[in-house]
Structure 1
Amino acid sequence: MTDDLPIEGHASLFWTRDLNDDVTAAGAFADSLAETGAAGVKMLHQHDDAEPIGVWDEIVEDARGLFVRGRILRATPRGRLVAALVEAGALDGLSIGFRQLKARQDGPLRVLTRVDLWEVSVVTFPMLPGARLQVVAPAVP
C-alpha cells in the first residue's frame, strides 16, 4: 500500500552496553532469523502485542548490529498514530523483544550470545539509546 510509512534502522548494536547492562554479541540473532525470517518477527508499538502496527520486510545482522527495514501500516488506528508521531519526530527509538537462549556474565554485563527474537518495537525511550529508526525517503523516479 502506498500510504504505508517505510522505516529502517538498527534495533540492536553489537558490543554496545544498554541501560540494563546487556550487550549483544555479533551472531546472536542468526539462528532465530534463519528459522523465522523477518516474517516471524512482529512490529509493535511500545512492546504492546495487542495491536501490531506494521510489518518487517527485512531483518539482517550487518557489521553494526541488527538492521531492520519495514512499513508502518496506516490501516489501523494505532498504525496511523505511530506513523504520525514518527513523521513528526516524536518517536524514533527501536527496541527488541526476545528470549535469552545463551548468555555469559562478563563482570556486570550480561553478554547475549544467542537469542530468540520475537518482536522489534517502535518506542519512545529505547533501552539501547543508539537504537534508532529513520523514515526511508521515497525513491526518485
Structure 2
Amino acid sequence: MQSETGLERKFCRFDKELTVTDGTGIAGYASLFGATDQGGDVVEPGAYGASLKRLGGEGRRVKMLWQHDPGAPIGIWDEVFEDARGLYVKGRLLDSVEKGREAAALIAAGAIEGLSIGYRTLRATRGEGGRRLLKELELWEVSLVTFPMLPSARVGAKGDSLTPDALREMAAVFGDARRDLARD
C-alpha cells in the first residue's frame, strides 16, 4: 500500500513469533525476507541495512506507531536489526500512553495480530512473475496493526480467508476513513 507521500506499508502477522512480557514488552519480526506479500512484493536480505545504519549514525530510532498514524506513537523500539530471517524488532509499549495501554490489551486478547513497516523504496527490481524485489528500503516506522498483509497472515470469517484484492480494498477503505476523520 502506498500513500500520496510515497510512504509504503507492508504487514506481517506476529503469530507465535511476537512475545509480550510484563504487559508492555514486545518482540517479533516486522518483515520476513523472501516472503511474497499480497501486493506481490518480496523484501530481500540486506534491504534495511543502510537505513538502519543511517538512523543510528544520526542518533534517531525507528518509530513505533499505532496503525501507521504519525499522531499516535505508542512505544519505543529498543532494538531493530536484520538477521537471516528478516527484520527483528524488540521494544516497549508505553503504559503512560492511552493507545499503548489499549494496544497491550488488544494483543493479550488476540484482537491485534500484525506488525507493519512504513518505508520508502529506494531500490527495487522486477522478478519472476512480475514480483517486485525490494533491495533497499528507507525504514520510517514499524506499527502495530489490525490487518496483516503477508500470505501467511490471513483474515477470515468462519474459516474462509479473504482474497488479496479484498484485503487491499478493505485497507484502502480504512485508510480513506482515517484521512477523512483527520480532516474533521
TM-score (norm: length of structure 1):
0.86
Q: Which runs of 5+ in 2 are unaligned?
A: 1-20, 154-184
Which amino acid counterpart does residue 117 of structure 1 have in structure 2? L
Q: Distance in 1 between matches of 2:52 and 2:67?
A: 22
Q: Which runs of 4+ in 1 moved over 4 A?
A: none
The 1:65/1:105 distance shift into structure 2, 3 A limit, reads: same
Assess if the C-alpha contact under 8 Å between 2:30 and 2:142 holds in 1. Answer: yes
Which residue of 1 is the match for residue 171 of structure 2?
Answer: none
> Relative contact order, CA 8 A, sep 6+: which one is greater?
1
1:102 aligns with 2:115: no
User: How do 1:1-141 and structure 2 match up within 5 A?
Assistant: 5-37=24-56, 39-106=60-127, 107-130=129-152
Larger C-alpha radius of gyration, 1 or 2? 2
Q: Distance in 1 between matches of 2:86 and 2:38?
A: 17
Deviation (angstroms), 1:128: 2.1
Q: Deviations over 1:83-125 (max 9, x none)?
A: 1101111112111000000000113211100000000011111
TM-score (norm: length of structure 2):
0.66
Q: Distance in 2 between matches of 1:92 and 1:9?
A: 11
Assess if the C-alpha contact under 8 Å between 1:3 and 1:74 holds in 2. Answer: no
The percent of aligned pairs where both chains have the same amino acid is 55
Structure in which a larger fraction of residues adopt helix: 2
Q: Which runs of 5+ in 1 are unaligned?
A: 132-141
Q: Distance in 2 between matches of 1:43 and 1:130?
A: 23
Aligned length: 130
